[in-house]
Amino acid sequence: MDSSIIRDRFLAFFEERGHARVPSASVIPNDPSLLFTNAGMNQFKPYFVGEQTAPYKRAVSVQKCMRAGGKHNDLEEVGRTTRHLTFFEMLGNFSFGDYYKSEICSWSWELVTEGWGMDPEKLWITIYETDDEAEAIWVDEVGVPPERVHRLGRKDNFWDMGVAGPCGPCSEIHVDRGEAFGPASERGPIDNDERYIEFWNLVFMQNDCNADIEPVADLPRKNIDTGAGLERIAMILQNKRSILETDLLLGMIEKASSITGRAYGEDERVDFGLRVLADHGRSVTFLIADGVLPSNEERGYVLRRVMRRAIRHARLIGHEQGVLPGLVDRCVELMGDVYPEIVERHEVIKEIVSREEERFTSTLKQGLSLLENEVDKTKGTGDSKLGGDVAFKLHDTFGFPIDLTTEIAAESGLEVDRSRFSELMTAQRERARAARAGGGEQTANEAIAAIAQGRGATEFLGYEHLTTESEIVGLVDGASSVEVAGEGSEVDVVLDRTVFYAEGGGQVGDTGILRSSSGEARVADARRLLPGVTGHRARVTAGELRVGDAVVGVVDARARRGSERAHTATHILHWTLRDRLGEHATQAGSLVEPGRLRFDFNHFDALGDAQVADISAELQSRVLTDDGVRAFETSFDYAKSIGAMAIFGEKYGDFVRVVEVGDYSRELCGGTHVPHTGNIGVVVLTGEGSIGSNLRRVEALVGQEGIDHLAQRAALLEQTAHLLRAQPDEVAERVERLLAQSKEMERKLAEVERKGADADATSLAEAAVDLDGTRLVVARRDLTVDALRSLAQNLRGRLGSAVIVLGSAGEGRANLVGALSKDLVDRGLNARDLLKPGADLLGGGGGGKPDLAISGGPNSGAVDDAIEAVTVAAKDAIRR
């Protein structure tokens, strides 16, 4: 049965039973606790833990999953076993407080036996050791013979999230693959999980676990979460020994074989490499399609590890050329109809993998050479562990992920001292952190927590107002809560409500004034001290502020408007970058200040002048269109359904705030914005550059700051035009002409200097002194070091056996150049030795080669004596 039929029948089966078909989520999860989406239930986790209300009671999905980093990491097993992949598809159906054990057990059996056609006599069931209810359902309702239902302990048949929350027993369906996979057993999967292979896990979420992951109560609403690997089911139904030989991956293996010129099935070492390439080619394609770019951090680092492992395995089987672009092409051909995002981003994916492969290939040979030498040294000493210092150098200098070093070392029977490697990595991070350090944020402390507990969150009114009356509910001086702050004091003022925007989403905090009947304070910053609690960092400029005082807060309107213009411009810039460069050009960081913005985004190449001009023009066009900017609160699910962009890693509740610009840009955002894009005025891009691997940064000025910048540029242009006696629109042409004239003059001057140098060399050669058949030239020419060296080389080329000694002096510096013909060097003379007496007189040193040396020092007044000293040394050397 083709994998496409398996997938379609699964979805159709559960849709017929009232399940909403939910598209696969990205492999980048909206969950900071996960590196990658590794199960079908990940996107439904907010529903299971009660953070959000599910818009449906039943759901079915086929989820893209990655297990190549974090807690679930199968990377090093890929190619070695018949079951492990880094990328796979998980079939899953889910119930949110609707049906439970009886329904899912019956339905799963029906689909497996009737929909997929598995022999019911070959199916085995495992259940949790105390789950009498599940056993009764399988035996009495479904009709599974009791001898094929076995109980297993918590390790195998109990599910939890690793933290307090929903948990429960699970039941797994296994199939007997026959004698080819081992002898039969009455205990089935308990004795041989290779023959009696598991392919579908049914989780019954019925308990609530405490922090020790112990069930302490029954859930008021019971849920169902199931997961079945599509590749494993295809392996069973297609009667293959390995998931890598199913129709889902065989096409990738065939492509890897075609690229490398190595046949599959003839040599296990080659087969291993081809299996790695097949799997990794899929992983790379889907990771980049979902927005991951190669880097040295988190997901980008895992992607880089996968790519570099593939590159190395291609070379291990004799293929030295590019391999990843071809694998990407084949993956798109095989899976593009199911996952159109890889078709849409096909060319971008190929560009990224090509660059990464080219970059790593240039250092791979050097790194492998070092590693092989260190492996030989280690084995020669009888040690079984490769030093962590070596692993660190390979990582730091040659870009070898630690897993790659570990794998290569293991091939020679060595472990890697990962403890030492971790120490060195930690020390490097600490140094980097120290270098970046400068100021810091006030951390949440007991004083702030006490205020929050007593008075609750700060109500924010700043979207509609810039001034309001409030009550001071707390004053925090350092780590202490105080009742009063006198003149000159700097404190964090906590109010019951505020119009000051607290720093967040890249936007800086508001500034302004707090006034009470007894004092006044200037607010320098507003920030979140704890979730929901705004601190106003303020200096009391008159009188005093007391807890309980009524105050009027007034935001600096000019600064706020500047931030609003910059923030809306940032959203337009984000949309424009993705529109012009591709969907991968997503936000990696931002800073929004009054009148200026800085935007970091994912992209693999520098922007050309034409691209920058195009982006700038599009930005300004969007501004002048004067589109409306609308902010509204809605459900998280609706926001996702209309394409609102969320920041991965952020946690969202049931309701979120969406900022919509025109009909093109929608982002989840809590910041402040202009009502219409025309309020921005102008956006002027002032810089674009790299800030790291596959990370770019754009900077811009907006509004009045942008206008001022353009005015300064216009004034500079006018000034330049005046100096050139030209009109402003003639400046570029005039400068180009002047540069051409200057270049021509430099060429002519160089020609004059060359002719002069040739004439000088001719004169000096004619005046050379003959010492026993060796010509000696001694002269002072106050030229640059480069010119002096060129003259010495010119002279040496004109003479046979010769010694040339030249000196020069300038402001605060003197130099000597010595040159010898080859025959004198062969006799043992050395230009460096000849110059030493002169260098000592000049108060300096020198260097060079035996046939040409340069020395110098600060005693320029001694240059003539130095030349004489070198001449004496040269004569002595010639006559020896």
Interval 800-811: pLDDT, tens = 899 999 999 987
Residue 680 in this model has a pLDDT that exceeds 90: yes
Q: What is the pLDDT of residue 434?
A: 58
Residue 441 in this model has a pLDDT that exceeds 50: no
Residue 443 in this model has a pLDDT that exceeds 50: no
Q: What is the pLDDT of residue 514?
A: 96
Q: What is the pLDDT of residue 424?
A: 87
Asked whether the whole model's pTM tops 0.75, one would answer no
Q: What is the pLDDT of residue 432?
A: 58
Q: Which residues contact 453 (CB under 8 A, 6 or more apart)?
A: none
Per DSSP, the three-state class of 521 is strand
Residue 455 in this model has a pLDDT that exceeds 60: yes
Q: What is the pLDDT of residue 446?
A: 66
Instruction: Give 408's pLDDT tier (boundaries 50, 70, 90).
Output: confident
Interval 161-180: pLDDT, tens = 766 778 899 999 999 999 99
Average pLDDT, the chain: 88
Residue 453 in this model has a pLDDT that exceeds 90: no
Ranges 3-12, 354-363, 595-604: which has the least confidence: 354-363
| DSSP-derived pairing of the beta strands 533-546 and 490-495 | antiparallel
Q: What is the pLDDT of residue 301?
A: 86
Q: What is the pLDDT of residue 524?
A: 95
Q: What is the pLDDT of residue 292?
A: 87
Residue 219 in this model has a pLDDT that exceeds 70: yes
Q: What region, left, alpha or beta, does residue 582 occupy, with left being phi > 0 and alpha being psi -120 to 50 degrees? A: left
Q: What is the mean pLDDT of residues 380-393?
A: 86
Q: What is the percent of the chain where pLDDT is above 90?
A: 54
Q: What is the pLDDT of residue 436?
A: 43
Residue 451 in this model has a pLDDT that exceeds 80: no
Task: Write out the DSSP string of 151-206.
Answer: EE-HHHHEEE-SSSEEEEEEEEEEEE--GGGS---TTGGGT-TTTEEEEEEEEEEE
Q: What is the pLDDT of residue 380?
A: 82
The secondary structure of 104-163, three-state, reads HHHHHHHHHHHHCCCCHHHEEEEEECCCHHHHHHHHHHHCCCHHHEEEECHHHHEEECCC
Q: What is the pLDDT of residue 438?
A: 40
Instruction: Give 356's pLDDT tier (boundaries 50, 70, 90).
Output: confident
Residues 672 and 509: their CA atoms lie apart, in Å, by: 11
Q: What is the pLDDT of residue 365?
A: 74
Interval 765-798: pLDDT, tens = 888 888 888 999 999 998 888 888 999 999 998 8
Q: What is the pLDDT of residue 651?
A: 64
Q: What is the pLDDT of residue 650?
A: 60
Specify the DSSP class assigned to residue 813: E
Q: What is the mean pLDDT of residues 557-579?
A: 96
Interval 50-60: pLDDT, tens = 778 888 999 99
Residue 440 in this model has a pLDDT that exceeds 70: no
Ranges 107-111, 273-277, 388-392, 740-744: which has the least confidence: 388-392
